[in-house]
């Protein structure tokens, strides 16, 4: 550690992931953000872009993993830690395992899709060729509130559109980069 610097803890790095989640939310995406840290430095960042790209694999974690591999010039991300605001899903935990990340730190559990302790725990499955150290619940109340507030606002907007138009189809609720919710035309 350099003189005059302080060691940054998990809460600090989750804060960087939260900043990425806010970038996602600003463009109408579900507010999930991720950063990958190696040797005390952020080497990659990502936030959800599923709706913007219409890409089911454009999760914050996968974007960060791909960027980290490009930056380091290798798919092996040993010695690195993924910080993410929401427990990774099965796809993202697959990416974590395949990229050989050492550690995953996340904020909120995902009881409907989590693969790091909620529905599944792929981090320590003896059938797989890599194990991942997990730390959960870091700034969990804050990350959970971000998601709850986002979905509450989305439901309120859906109700407002339904009241104004009589009916709302699912496609009319797809986020856009300006208003946060694409309106019917």
For 90-100, write each residue's pLDDT tens digit.
Answer: 999 999 999 99
Pairing of strands 41-47, 80-86: unpaired
Q: In this predicted model, what pLDDT tens digit does every residue of 91-132 receive, in sequence order?
A: 999 999 999 999 999 999 999 999 999 999 999 999 999 999
**Across all residues in the chain, what is the average pLDDT?**
89
For 72-138, the DSSP string reads HTSS--TTEEEEEEE---HHHHHHHHHHT-SEEEEEE--TTT-TBTTS-BGGG-TTSS---EEE--T
At 44, list the tokens. Answer: 């990659």
At 88, list the tokens. Answer: 């990774």
Say if residue 25's pLDDT is above 90. Answer: yes
Of 126 and 184, more confident = 126
Query: Which residues are catalytic, by number?
Result: 61
Rounded CA-CA distance 64/47 in Å is: 8
Rounded-to-10 torsion of CA 42, 142, 123, 134: 70
Residues 68 and 83: beta-carbon distance below 8 Å? no
Rounded CA-CA distance 34/17 in Å is: 5
The pLDDT confidence band at residue 168, using thresholds 50, 70 and 90, is low
- Interior angle at CA 68, CA 81 and CA 107, nearest 5: 40
Rounded-to-10 torsion of CA 143, 146, 148, 151: -140
User: Where does residue 182 rank: exposed (0-12), middle (13-18), buried (19+ CB within 10 A)?
Assistant: middle
């Amino acid at each position: 550690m350099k003189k005059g610097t302080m060691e940054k803890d998990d809460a600090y790095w989750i804060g960087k992931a939260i900043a990425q989640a806010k970038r996602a939310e600003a463009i109408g995406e579900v507010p999930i953000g991720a950063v990958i840290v190696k040797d005390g430095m952020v080497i990659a960042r990502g936030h959800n872009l599923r709706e913007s790209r219409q890409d089911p694999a454009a999760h914050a974690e996968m974007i960060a993993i791909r960027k980290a591999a490009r930056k380091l010039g290798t798919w092996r991300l040993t010695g690195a830690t993924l910080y993410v605001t929401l427990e990774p899903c099965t796809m993202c935990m697959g990416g974590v395992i395949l990229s050989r990340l050492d550690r995953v730190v996340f904020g909120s559990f995902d009881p409907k899709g989590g693969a790091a302790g909620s529905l599944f725990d792929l981090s320590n499955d003896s059938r797989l060729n890599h194990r991942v150290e997990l730390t959960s619940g870091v700034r969990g109340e804050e990350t959970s509130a971000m998601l709850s507030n986002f979905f509450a606002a989305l439901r309120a907007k859906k109700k407002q559109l339904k009241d104004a138009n009589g009916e709302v189809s699912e496609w009319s609720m797809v986020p856009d980069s300006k208003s946060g919710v694409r309106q019917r035309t």
